Amino acid sequence: MTFRGSLVALVTPFKKGKVDEKTLARLVRRQIQAGTDGLVPVGTTGESPTLSFREHERVIEVVVEAAGGQVPVIAGTGANSTDEALSLTRFAKQAGADGALMVTPYYNKPTQEGLYRHYEAVARRVDLPIVLYNVPSRTGVSLAPETVARLSKIQNIVAIKEATGSMDQTSQILSLCGITVLSGDDSLTLPLLSLGARGVISVVANVLPEETARMVDAFFKGDHERARELHYRMFPICRAMFVETNPIPVKRAMKLLGHCSDEVRLPLCPMSEANEKILVKALKDYGLNVR
């Protein structure tokens, strides 16, 4: 399966400490109606580190059911233990997900050979398309372009979410292999598309699903002027999504726009008043109706 276009890194809504399944399903339907090309639950934006294993699995089930096969679901199944990543990936396949997003193992700081063996172990044992996820600011380790190229030779490793913030990284990857690159940084999506990326796994698409999809679509239709116009218009909100640790700002934005609560779990905590002012200004300047 080929993953491309605007894919949303879904937030996980909570209500009184528990996953709000009804709201989650509604958010899925909203994304599909807005033209989003794919759903990515239980990634970083979905607060996977603070979900129990059963909650993690349940979020995948809810999203797959709500999507109803209308768009691909790429479930986050990464872990810093290969056995745990294998277990989650097997569950994602059984639940009907179309792919798995696997972040590099965090905290362990494996070597490049260790990273290769980690992904290889899962890919060889679960027949499910796998999207590598490289976000060294979160994990403390980065997949080298040479390792990505090596992994791309495994049949069901089909894409990489590139969130290093480096244009050179994507250029190096695509100079070495033909793996599908998906932007992991909203503010860099358009530049990465110009280098050969095929889409984005987007945080800001939680807030602006139609606009994100339109920007990517405009680029692929050759309307680069329109794509740039949308990029620059969304850019202040893209930046505001990261004034504090993701997903604190995007969840506050979703609350301000009436989509879900901004409840997060410790060690994440509510947004500071100073940063909320920055976020509110970006939303209002865009023309959104802040409650």
Instruction: Say which of 93, 116, 119, 133 is annotated catalytic.
Output: 133
Instruction: Say which of 93, 116, 119, 161 is annotated catalytic.
Output: 161
C-beta neighbour count of 222 within 10 angstroms: 9
DSSP 3-state of 184 = coil
Q: How far is CA 128 from CA 3, 9, 98, in A?
A: 13, 19, 7
The two tokens of residue 276 are: 């909320």
In order, the DSSP letters of 122-169 are: HHHH--S-EEEEE-HHHHS----HHHHHHHTTSTTEEEEEE-S--HHH
Decide if 107 is catalytic. no
Angle at 64 between CA 63 and CA 66, to 5 degrees: 65
Rounded CA gap, 237 and 288, in Å?
11
Single-letter amino acid code for the residue at 123:
A
* Sign for the pseudo-dihedral over CA of 79, 85, 87, 92: positive
Half-sphere exposure of 88 (CA within 13 A, CB side): 32
Decide if 251 is catalytic. no
Q: Measure CA 53 to chain center.
A: 19
- Catalytic positions are 133, 161
